[in-house]
Structure 1
Amino acid sequence: MTTNYLTIMMKHFEHMNIEVTAAAETVLNASSLKDREDVYDCNRFLFVKEGAGRLIVQNDEIQLVRGKLCILLSGRSHRIAIDPDEQLILQWCHFRSSYEDRDLYRVLQIPYHIQLTDIGATSKLLERIIEEINGDKLTSRLKIKASMLDLISTYLDSFPINMNDGAPSEELQKIDLVLNYIDEHLADNITVENLAKQVFLHPNYFIVFFKSILGYSPIQYVNLRRMELAKSLLLQQEWNVSAVASKVGMQIYYFSRMFKTHTGVTPSHYRKQSAAFGTSGDLSNRGEGK
Structure 2
Amino acid sequence: MRTNYVTIMMKHFEQMHLEVAAAAETVLDASTVKDKDTVYDCHRFLFVKSGEGKLFAQNKEIPFAKGTLFILLAGMPHRIVLEKDETATVQWCHFRGSYEDRDLYKMLQIPFHIQAENEDAVSAIFFRLFEELARNGLTTKLRTKAAMLELISYYLDSLSLIDNATPTDDLQKIDQVLKYIDEHLADNITVENMAKQVFLHPNYFIVFFKGILGYSPIQYVNLRRMEIAKSLLLKPDSNVSFVAGQVGMQIYYFSRMFKAHTGLTPSRFRKQAAFIAASSGEEREEEEKL
**2:272 matched residue in structure 1:** 273
Relative to structure 1, is the Cα distance of residues 239 and 117 closer, same or farther in structure 2, using a 3 angstrom cutoff? closer
Does residue 47 of structure 2 align to residue 68 of structure 1?
A: no
What is the SS of the residue equivalent to 1:89? strand
Alignment-mate amino acid for residue 264 of structure 1? G
Contact residue 2 and residue 163 of structure 1 kept, 8 A: yes
Alignment-mate amino acid for residue 46 of structure 2? L
**1:283 matched residue in structure 2:** none
Relative to structure 1, is the Cα distance of residues 278 and 129 closer, same or farther in structure 2, using a 3 angstrom cutoff? closer
Q: How far apart are residue 278 of structure 1 and its match? A: 3.0
**2:5 matched residue in structure 1:** 5
Cα distance in 2, alignment partners of residues 149 and 252 from structure 1: 37
**1:110 matched residue in structure 2:** 110
Alignment-mate amino acid for residue 68 of structure 1? T
Q: How far apart are residue 80 of structure 1 and its match? A: 1.0
- CA RMSD in angstroms comes to 1.7
Alignment-mate amino acid for residue 177 of structure 1? Q
Contact residue 42 and residue 96 of structure 2 kept, 8 A: yes
Cα distance in 2, alignment partners of residues 240 and 131 from structure 1: 50
| TM-score normalized by the length of structure 1 | 0.90
Task: Give the number of the structure whose residues are more often helix, by fraction.
Answer: 2
Contact residue 39 and residue 76 of structure 2 kept, 8 A: yes
**Structure 2, unaligned runs of 5 or more:** 279-290
After TM superposition, the runs of 4+ consecutive aligned structure 1 residues lying more than 3 A away are: none
Q: How far apart are residue 70 of structure 1 and its match? A: 0.5
**1:262 matched residue in structure 2:** 261
Cα distance in 2, alignment partners of residues 234 and 132 from structure 1: 41
**1:125 matched residue in structure 2:** 125
Does residue 87 of structure 2 align to residue 87 of structure 1?
A: yes
Cα distance in 2, alignment partners of residues 243 and 90 from structure 1: 56
Q: How far apart are residue 38 of structure 1 and its match? A: 0.9
Relative to structure 1, is the Cα distance of residues 236 and 83 closer, same or farther in structure 2, using a 3 angstrom cutoff? closer
Q: How far apart are residue 101 of structure 1 and its match? A: 5.1
Cα distance in 2, alignment partners of residues 74 and 134 from structure 1: 24
**1:187 matched residue in structure 2:** 186
Contact residue 44 and residue 95 of structure 1 kept, 8 A: yes
Alignment-mate amino acid for residue 85 of structure 1? D
Cα distance in 2, alignment partners of residues 117 and 238 from structure 1: 43
Q: Give % identity.
A: 66
**2:159 matched residue in structure 1:** 159
Cα distance in 1, alignment partners of residues 157 and 262 from structure 2: 29
CA-to-aligned-CA distance 1:115-167 (integer Å, 9 cap, x gap): 11311221121122123224320111111111111111111111222322x22
**1:30 matched residue in structure 2:** 30
**Structure 1, unaligned runs of 5 or more:** 280-290
| TM-score normalized by the length of structure 2 | 0.90
**1:16 matched residue in structure 2:** 16
